[in-house]
Amino acid sequence: MKEYLVVSKEIKDAIENNKPVVALESTIISHGMPYPKNVETALKVEEIIRENGAIPATIAIINGKLSVGISPEQIDYLGKKGLAVAKSSRRDLPILVARGEDGATTVATTMIIANLAGIKLFATGGVGGVHRGGETTMDISADLEELSNTNVSVVCAGAKSILDLGLTLEYLETKGVPVIGYKTEEFPAFYTRESGFKVNYKMDSPLEIAKALKVKDELRLKGAVLIANPIPEEYSMDKTEIDKVIEDAVEEANSLGVKGKDITPFLLDKIQKITEGRSLESNIQLVYNNAKLGAQIARELSSL
């Protein structure tokens, strides 16, 4: 494993000394937004985690190495390279490593690498899910399978409402993944706090969530806990408006025959253009919010 996994000294020391660490993905850097906004956002997320008493561990594949705790220079490198960096899910990992290539990690891949490094908590924007029509196309994100298998719990703002949220929650239910709402009983839908679907449990403090994560590990229950943290009220978009925008974007994607791994970036790009950038600002703010909560939970977890 040493041949493939590179963990920064700061992260290695933190794990060995039970200090709070929060994993971060790198797809948001290379595929989430244009340069230099992507790099500014990634560095700000790390700063927020440190301000809240934890250590950030941004994860990526750099020259074929599974890199945990990449440097600001490496973040800038990924940001400048942008879409030329492969978006890497579970299936891509062995190929990219064998070829010595770069990869931006999705939720699934970040969980895998964080688990290899011994990190228990990961903060992201939103998780993947079952795509609309997934009951016939079987277009289901690898994120969901990873949540059921890998022992890295995830703080997110729910799942993007471009997905079928009802089927997404049913899939998680089937796989036995607990969905906790932070100060909410409703599963958030990324851009908006409302979805019409309920979480399994509402918890009102980082300590309460940390205790649940600790018990899960002590019971040796495989898989993650999904912690749904709604976008801050002031950045939440109107549900009716965003639903209409998404419907229009989905209709255009269908007419153009956009499918598979191309569908999510296509829809997010269309949504950003239709909302004149407001969706991007909401995206950034919810990531900051999740980083803060992730750090607070990690801090509580390390003290138990």
Residues tagged active-site: 25, 160
For residue 133, the SS3 value is coil
In this structure, the chain runs to a length of: 304
**What distance in Å separates the CA atoms of residue 287 and residue 295, rounded to the nearest whole number?**
12
For residue 180, the SS3 value is strand
Assess contact for 19 and 49: CB atoms under 8 A: no
Assess contact for 165 and 186: CB atoms under 8 A: no
> Per DSSP, which regions of the chain are E strands?
5-7, 21-24, 55-62, 65-68, 86-88, 103-105, 121-123, 153-156, 179-182, 201-203, 226-228
Q: How many CA atoms lie within 13 A of 269 on its CB side?
A: 10
Assess contact for 132 and 167: CB atoms under 8 A: no
